[in-house]
Structure 1
Amino acid sequence: MSEPENTPVRQLDARSLRGLAHPLRMQLLVALRQGGPATASQLAERLGESSGATSYHLRQLAAHGFVADDPERGKGRERWWKAVDEGIRIDETLFKDPDPTVRGAVAVLRYEIANVHTREIATWLGNIGEWGEEWDGATDLSDFSLRLTPELARELVGKMHDLIQSYRPLPEGTPDAETVRVHTHVFPSQTTL
Structure 2
Amino acid sequence: MPKTEGDDSAATAPDPKVLSIDARSLRGLAHPLRLRLLSALREFGPATASGLADRLGESSGATSYHLRQLAAYGFVEDDPERGKGRERWWRSVHAGAAFDPEFLHDPDPEVRGAMGVVLHEVATMHAQELNTWLGTLHEWSREWYASSDLSDFKVRLTPELSKELADKVHDLVNSYRGRVPEGTEGSAVVRTHLHVFPRPTD
Deviation at 1:168, TM superposition (A): 0.9
Q: Sequence identity, in percent? A: 63
CA deviations on 1:43-86 (whole Å, 9 max, x unpaired) are 00111111110011001111111111111013322111111112
CA contact (8 A) 2:103 2:111 kept: yes
Aligned mate of 2:185, from 175, 180, 183: 175
2:112 equivalent in structure 1 = 103
For structure 2, the 5+ residue unaligned runs are 1-9, 11-15
**Does residue 135 of the first structure (1) align with residue 155 of the second (2)?**
no
1:187 equivalent in structure 2 = 197
Computed over aligned residues only, the root mean square deviation of the Cα atoms, in angstroms, reads 1.5
Q: Output the TM-score relative to the length of structure 2.
A: 0.89
State the one-letter code of the partner of 1:186.
Answer: V
For structure 1, the 5+ residue unaligned runs are 1-5
**Does residue 145 of the first structure (1) align with residue 154 of the second (2)?**
yes
Deviation at 1:90, TM superposition (A): 0.7
Q: Provide the C-alpha distance between the structure 1 equivalents of 2:83 and 2:95, rounded to a whole number of angstroms.
A: 23
CA deviations on 1:87-138 (whole Å, 9 max, x unpaired) are 1111122121000000000100000000000000010101011001221221
Q: Output the TM-score relative to the length of structure 1.
A: 0.93
Deviation at 1:42, TM superposition (A): 0.2
2:18 equivalent in structure 1 = 9
**Does residue 158 of the first structure (1) align with residue 167 of the second (2)?**
yes
CA deviations on 1:11-70 (whole Å, 9 max, x unpaired) are 111011111110000100111111111000000011111111001100111111111111
Instruction: Report which structure shows greater RCO (CA 8 Å, sep ≥6).
Output: 2
1:112 equivalent in structure 2 = 121
CA contact (8 A) 2:78 2:89 kept: yes
Deviation at 1:191, TM superposition (A): 3.0
Aligned mate of 1:84, from 93, 102, 120: 93
Q: Provide the C-alpha distance between the structure 2 equivalents of 1:73 and 1:185, rounded to a whole number of angstroms.
A: 37
State the one-letter code of the partner of 1:127.
Answer: T
CA deviations on 1:144-188 (whole Å, 9 max, x unpaired) are 011110010111111111111111143222111101100000001
CA contact (8 A) 2:30 2:115 kept: yes
Q: Provide the C-alpha distance between the structure 2 equivalents of 1:10 and 1:144, rounded to a whole number of angstroms.
A: 30
Q: For 1:136, what is the secondary structure of its paired residue?
A: helix
